[in-house]
Structures are given as C-alpha cells and as structure tokens.
Amino acid sequence: MKPANTALLAAFALAAAPALADDLTVSAAASLKEAFQEINAAYQKAHPDTAVKLNTAASGVLLQQLAQGAPVDVLATADQTTMDKAQEQNLIDQSHRRTFALNDLVVVQPKDSRLKIKTLADLKAATVGRIAAGNPDSVPAGRYTKGALEKAGLYTTLQPKIVSTQNVRQALDYVARGETEAGFVYRTDAVLAKDKVRTAFAVALETPVSYAIAPAAAAKNKAAASYVDFVLSPAGQTILKKYGFSPAKGSKAK
C-alpha cells in the first residue's frame, strides 16, 4: 500500500474508532455532522443493539476511504457526482441508493465585516483579498463553487484569491476567524455559525445541492439498509429539517 493510502486509512480509523460486530459505521459529508449525530442517537434509541459510529470528511475523501477498504456500512455524500463514482466502482448497493436532502450554496462574510458583498462580481473588489472555498477535486461545495464562478466568467479572475480547503467546514472556519473576507459554504453551515458569520447572498446553481445515501456494497452490518430507511423516514427528515436541510422529492418531514 502506498504511504498516502496508509495515511488516509489511518485518518479514517481515528475518526471511526474500532468497529465491533454490532457497530454500524456511517461515513457522511462534513456538512452533515451535527444532523447525523442526532440521527444516530435516534436510530440507536430505536435499535439498542446497534451502535452507530460516525466518520465525517469531504465526500471525495470518504469515497477514497471506501475504495481503499475502510470498514464502511453506509455512505452519505453532499452531491450526486461522488455517489455516481462510488456506484461506477461497485462500492455501494445501488438498489438502496436514495436522495435524502437538499441544501443551498451561499457566500458568507465575517459577522463584523463592513464590506458590501451582494453578488459574485463584488468578490473582484480589491478589498476582498482572500476567499475560502473547498477543493473542487474532492469537496462538493468546491465543485459547486467552481461551476458557479465559471458560469459567471469569474473563475480565472478570482482563482488567485481562493484559499482551497479540505472540506466545507474548514472554509466556514476561515471566515468565522476572519482569515478570509468571504467564503463559499452551505446554508446549513452558515446557520450553525450565525454568531460568527453572516450570509451575504445565495449562489444560483444549475444543479441543486442534493445529498445521496446508500449502503456500502461490502457492508458488514445488515442494518445498513435499515439505517438508510431511517434517514428517509419522517423521524430522520424532521431532524434534518431542524438543522436547515430541505427535504428531497419523495422524502417527508413532519
């Protein structure tokens, strides 16, 4: 195994902790962390014999971990593209693949910023020196950002200002700490950090931000499909709604 791959699996091991026979390991996009912590608690209450272990990272990183043999039972990504890649590699049970939530991409500023940023074009201003955005090669939020900037004809112009981050939460942290004048994150992230950042505007996208979930093809826990059903259930959807996610078509919240 290559050193980089070893490091990747080691990072997974630290995040997921040792898995026991009745453990259900869920790898979820970073933006789902708080919502899935609560979903996991609710699932465990309904299924006391199953302990759910949560591993969060950028969706692209989660895909790499799964492809390299990490013990994952359920994969939840912040986009369809990453799940498509997992499906192409036969890493998931596509018969149980579902779209379970929607979100929005927004531009945020530090809470105390006096800069007036209302459009993507405003990011060209000399007063905007640094912009936090996920790496488009592995972070769905970064890919959505790149697509929006390319459509607006601004990607090449703004690229020197962009600070590439490992996941959407790191982009949020840079803005919250005032290390960048602006950043691209999800609406749900901005809500979680509303005491430190404010939303400047929502970014228009050709492809909506939609989240996908599926049992891993090599899932060792037979409850994987049951967990997916729980996320789509009224109980799971109500928790997602609490954290600002919108229901996907076909999913219902109370």
* 115 has pLDDT over 90: yes
Which is nearest to 109 in space by CA: 31, 178, 187, 202? Answer: 178
168 is in an annotated binding site: yes
| Helix, coil or strand: residue 195 | coil
- Give the mean model confidence (pLDDT) for residues 189-198: 96
Tokens of 145: 């950002």
141 is in an annotated binding site: yes
| Residue 85 to residues 58, 63, 122, 124, Cα–Cα distance (Å) | 14, 8, 35, 34
Q: Express each pLDDT in 116-146 by its tens digit.
A: 999 999 999 999 999 999 999 999 999 999 9
Supply the mean pLDDT for the chain. Answer: 91
186 is in an annotated binding site: yes
Amino acid (1-letter code) at residue 112: D
- Give the mean model confidence (pLDDT) for residues 9-30: 67
- Give the mean model confidence (pLDDT) for residues 172-186: 98
How high is the pLDDT of residue 251? 57
| Sign of torsion over alpha carbons 243, 174, 161, 33 | negative
Helices 33-46, 234-242: axis angle to 10 degrees equals 150
DSSP character string of 127-153? T---EEEE-TTT-HHHHHHHHHHHHTT
Confidence of residue 19 (pLDDT cuts 50, 70, 90): very low
pTM for the model stands at 0.86
* 4 has pLDDT over 70: no
- Map out the domains of the chain with their CATH numbers: 24-102+209-247 (3.40.190.10), 105-202 (3.40.190.10)
